[in-house]
Chains A and B, each alone.
Chain A
Amino acid sequence: MATTLPDQPAAHTTDGPVLQVKDLTVEFPTDDGIVHAVRGVSFDLHPRQVLGIVGESGSGKSVTSLAIMGLLPRSARIRGEVNYRGQNLVKLSDKEQTKFRGKNISMIFQDPMTSLNPVYTVGWQLQEAILAHQDVGKDKAWARAVELLDIVGIPNASERAKNYPHEFSGGMRQRAVIAMSMTNDPDVIIADEPTTALDVTVQAQVLDTLRRVQENTSAGIVLITHDLGVVAGMAHQVLVMYAGKPVEIGETDAIYYDPRMPYTLGLLGSLPRLDQKGDEPLTPIRGAPPSLVNLPPGCPFSPRCPMSRPHCDEEEPALRAVAGVDHVAACHYAEELAGDVGAAEVFETAETDSQAIEQLDQLGDLEEAKAELDKAEAEEAEERA
């Protein structure tokens, strides 16, 4: 399952996956009905591997990560397995989970301002994270905190550790949060939209830091984001989510160069690219993601899918191998996307109804009306003068 980037150390190790998620489902009972936020997510994460989870808002990627961490509210109904080194975390009580949280599995959140406590210094907070799980003295914990800040590229770390979060800039705060996620040498780091709130030059700094983390530890990293550009440069494997379910999983290159699920293809086609002149229109995906309260039977993407056929509305496609064992997609007609199929061949790009614009023209020119108004107003102004 694990793959390697050419310029990085081998992702394979002998001891198998550190994290195994099996058929994870999360439901939230609400007044409107049950929200099926996550509807069966399975994946393996190996040491040193980076798994990218991509999807749009509401696709269930964040809920998946919170479920793995055991951070969901009590009202959430969680089923399935989250196996960390053979132990199912879902079955554990909150107290037992605390032993793993932050020690073996740690998390980086989107907004660094809300994940740091404003009334304690950054160093103090890192020290606390160390003391919570390790039997070391305060001095040693402080030294480790400074060392970690140094690793993530905070200049003059021993002094900056005494600063409060508000004295840090956005990028530095996020790096401090990354340092905190490393305090106890975790086996799994879950980064939930770690760069979404940041400007691109700051994002580059933070991604640089994450790469350094990946080189310096043996942790497996789950990188959750909506930015396909960030995933392209970081991940070994990509999992595409739609309506609470993975719809395509594969090695990064396979997902980007040979997508077999129309949604993935559409998503890639809808991205404007820095390296292309932009003379080709983008391929938007029509409509909106379905409500997770009343999911119709069949493929959840079917209403937006240009390849949809009657069969798609009857039976929900399961993930199946489409190209080799490692590349799976949930589409009945995945084979039709084999070979070099461009997004523009599948998705329609025209946005406006040409008839509508013509009719708008026929409704009379506004030019004249506006000119009259201008005149009337000018006269009025003159009269007053």
Chain B
Amino acid sequence: MTQTTPQAAGTQNGAADPILEVTNLVKHYPLMGGGVVRRRVGDVHAACDLTFHLDKGETLGLVGESGCGKSTTGKAILQLSPPTSGSVKFEGQELVGKTRKQLRSIRRDLQVVFQDPYASLNPRIPVSDIVAEPLIIHGLFKRLGRERVRELLTVVGLNPEHGNRYAHEFSGGQRQRIGIARALALEPKVLVLDEPVSALDVSIQAGVVNLLEELQDRLGLSYLFIAHDLSVVRHICDRVAVMYLGKIVETGPRDHIYERASHPYTQALLSAVPIPDPKLERQRRRIVLEGDVPSPVNPPSGCRFRTRCWKAQDICAEQEPALVDRGQGHPVACHFAEPRSLL
């Protein structure tokens, strides 16, 4: 479906083949009951039937609030937690169902940067060893060695002299840079960035965002950028997919989504983000959503957003809206999609 999406402005590719193709991806986590005998009492529908693709050299933003399944999607793509069903293709190769050994060569091209720079770095080894680890694991360290590690540290803006220090000696922003250097060690083609800047203060965050953009330009990387901060996503992404309760509700080129949001949820989300501009901020009208996100164990029938939607009618409960272009220029999963400018 997303194949019909018009090419985003800013994508520097000419290739028709996407580098990463996700089709009907489903990830359910079993929900175990308490008591003496633990048995399966249900499923947490974390990611349901997701279809999207990532082109070479572009950044796709996967946005949504906590619990919408965006991190689950990232993990399922990387096969860190195998999907329940569906297909993930990297350069035409199917990843789902492969063994760890078979995935090894693909993992050299598909790397990840995690959110928490405190938890994702080994505290017991010096950072040059942390960055060297992917090279060692894949048996490339002897050939490429220390020199490459030093260069990697320089590339991400750290002093290679500090390579023998430990992770705790660095600040949050510097640690995130170490994580990026580690992800870059094997010259991957795709980086899955799972909330890479949300743990950082804004002045530090800006540096990491700029670094990611420059690295992409220089090294031709493709990013799957998972985030909840819509301002950062607007800044860094070429295309955006908005998730709600395990489903993509709207997807399209960045400026389409931000200027002509057509799904009520996207509209509510955009209207809720504060803008650091006092005059503008006082004039803005907010769409304040009632109630809370329903449980992913028992998602509502039909459209999952209908319980909080001001446009909801009977059809929304009966029929699930497909993610298709209804004349807005990009796919929207809403029976009553209508573009609206919120900025």
Contacts and interface: CB of A to CB of B under 8 A. Distances in A.
Given A284-B204, A284-B207, A373-B139, A275 B65 contact: no
B157 interface: yes
B95 interface: no
A360 interface: yes
A268 B219 CA distance: 29
B276 A229 contact: yes
A169 interface: yes
Contacts of B147: 363
A307 to B, nearest CB: 15
B298 interface: no
B187 A367 contact: yes
A200 B204 contact: no
Interface in B269-284: 269-282, 284
Nearest to B258: A274
B288 interface: yes
B94 interface: no
Interface in A256-282: 256-257, 266-278, 281-282
A285 B203 contact: yes
A359 B151 contact: yes
Sort chain B's interface into a size bin.
35 or more
B152 A229 contact: no
B155 A366 contact: no
B260 to A, nearest CB: 14
B275 A370 contact: no
A356 B157 CA distance: 9
A131 interface: no
Contact of A281 (B210, B215, B277): B210
B343 interface: yes
A201 B269 contact: yes
A377 interface: yes
Query: Binding site of B, secondary structure by majority: helix, strand, loop or mixed?
Result: helix
Contacts of B204: 284-285, 288
Interface string A219-243: 0000000111111110000000000
Nearest to B265: A201
B101 interface: yes
A94 interface: no
Given A200-B228, A275-B343, A233 B234 contact: no
B278 A253 contact: yes
Interface string B285-302: 010111010000000000
A325 interface: no
Interface string B218-245: 1100000000111110111000000000
Nearest to A204: B272
A205 interface: yes
B255 A277 contact: yes
A173 to B, nearest CB: 11
B151 A356 contact: yes
Interface string A188-226: 000000000001111111011000000000000000001
A56 interface: yes
B322 interface: no
Contact of A284 (B65, B104, B206, B289): B206
Given A56-B202, A204-B271, A284-B203, A232 B276 contact: yes
B211 interface: yes
Nearest to B237: A278
A294 interface: no
Contacts of A281: 210, 213
A208 B235 contact: no
Interface of B: 65-66, 101-102, 104-105, 108-109, 138-140, 143-144, 147-148, 151-152, 154-157, 171, 173, 186-187, 201-207, 209-211, 213-215, 218-219, 228-232, 234-236, 254-255, 258, 268-282, 284, 286, 288-290, 292, 343
Given A229-B231, A266-B203, A370-B140, 11 more contacts: A233-B274, A253-B278, A270-B203, A273-B275, A273-B277, A274-B234, A284-B207, A285-B206, A352-B214, A366-B186, A370-B108
5 contacts: A253-B279, A271-B231, A272-B236, A284-B203, A366-B140
